[in-house]
Amino acid sequence: MAKRYLVLEDGSVYEGTAFGGEHSGTGELVFNTGMTGYQESITDQSYNGEILMFTYPLIGNYGVNFDDNESVTPTTAGVVVHELARLASNWRNQMSLDEFLRQHDIPGISGLDTRAITKKIRARGTMKSVLVNSKKEAQSVLEQGMQVSPKSLVMESTTKNGYPNPNTGKRIVVVDFGLKHSILRELSKRKCNVVVLPATATAAQILNYKPDGVLLSNGPGDPKDVQGAATMIRTVERTVPLFGICLGHQLFALANGADTFKMKFGHRGFNHPVREIATNRIDFTAQNHGYAVDASSVADTDLLVTHEEINDDTIEGLRHKKYPAFSVQFHPDAAPGPHDSSHLFDEFLESITSYQRQKRIDIRG
């Protein structure tokens, strides 16, 4: 078996066994605590430019299928596992994880002590990292320093052209900052007539579709790098109900005067407990983000904090005090993960119905 090496910016080098794509990979090393859902995570555009390490010790045991992808072309920079399953056993299995990563030229490495590396990341924070195929390349990286080119991650992940996901219900425009397909699945379950637009869409372009509501999707990277989103959001939220998820939540916060910050190692997994402040309801949630809204920056805005993470008290939900607009940091679409918070899609549609009813009253009135 061919060797491969994981090099971290602190000078650590880990030797393992290569699988997946043949080329090297460069990105920020992050860890995911989920016991399942490796296919959905690898195809989640929120991992664009990141080397994804799984803490669960055996990955690939149920294979890969054509139904669970969260995007058509995954952009994860690399995959790190403790043990790669030699045999995939599941009635839905259509190819091995190794074959899938080869198809998309994503390098993988197995045979590492992923829990020890995770403990290092928790202590030091996420680190730049490189997957290389020889000791010589690893030594070269150490001598020359870690070179990770800045990227416009959202522009790599967003659709280049708008497209429909038609149905017969509410007309929803989804702004794609790195959209998970499971969000479209949840909207389809509710008969929403969806148009997906690129991250560069202006408020005028969005409102030209006469939407009943607008959803801001998840996506990769620093929300402050997304140009033009704040201006768009400020116009849209005054016009129609709005719902932000993950990166969409952070952009909603920035547009309304709050601030965001880079977390030490982020939230990535499917077991994060979140408390709804008004009801004390606890939901277990799926999360994947390295940035969060700064709690101290919300006080002087028109935003109300609605949810908080129980483990570290970070903000997990916001609502606008004047407009029918709200957001959550976690994934109510939960693919994979618990479905405790899927009701938020229903609340979004209910907010549309209430808003439209009030508009009719105001017109008559």
The set of catalytic residues is: 246, 331, 333
Q: Would the CA dihedral through 148, 152, 158, 159 be positive or negative?
A: negative
Concatenated DSSP letters of 163-205: EEE--SS-EEEEEESS--HHHHHHHHHTT-EEEEEETT--HHH
Q: Do the annotations mark residue 291 as ligand-binding?
A: yes
Q: Do the annotations mark residue 247 as ligand-binding?
A: yes
Q: Do the annotations mark residue 250 as ligand-binding?
A: yes
- Asked if residue 159 lies in contact with residue 195, where contact means CB atoms within 8 angstroms, the answer is no
- Tallying the residues shown for the chain, one arrives at 365
Which structure tokens are listed for 92? 């839905």
Three-class SS of residue 279? coil
Print burial letters for 314-339: b (CB count within 10 Å at least 16), e (below 16): bbbbbbbeebbbbbbbbbbbbbbbee
Q: Do the annotations mark residue 290 as ligand-binding?
A: yes
Q: Do the annotations mark residue 12 as ligand-binding?
A: no
Q: Do the annotations mark residue 219 as ligand-binding?
A: yes
As a whole number of angstroms, the distance between CA 255 and CA 233 comes to 6
- Asked if residue 250 lies in contact with residue 263, where contact means CB atoms within 8 angstroms, the answer is no
The C-alpha angle with vertex 229 and arms to 339 and 73, in degrees rounded to 5, equals 55
Q: Do the annotations mark residue 48 as ligand-binding?
A: no
Which structure tokens are listed for 147? 């070179």
Annotated binding site for L-glutamine: 46, 219, 221, 247, 250, 288, 290-291
Annotated binding site: 46, 219, 221, 247, 250, 288, 290-291
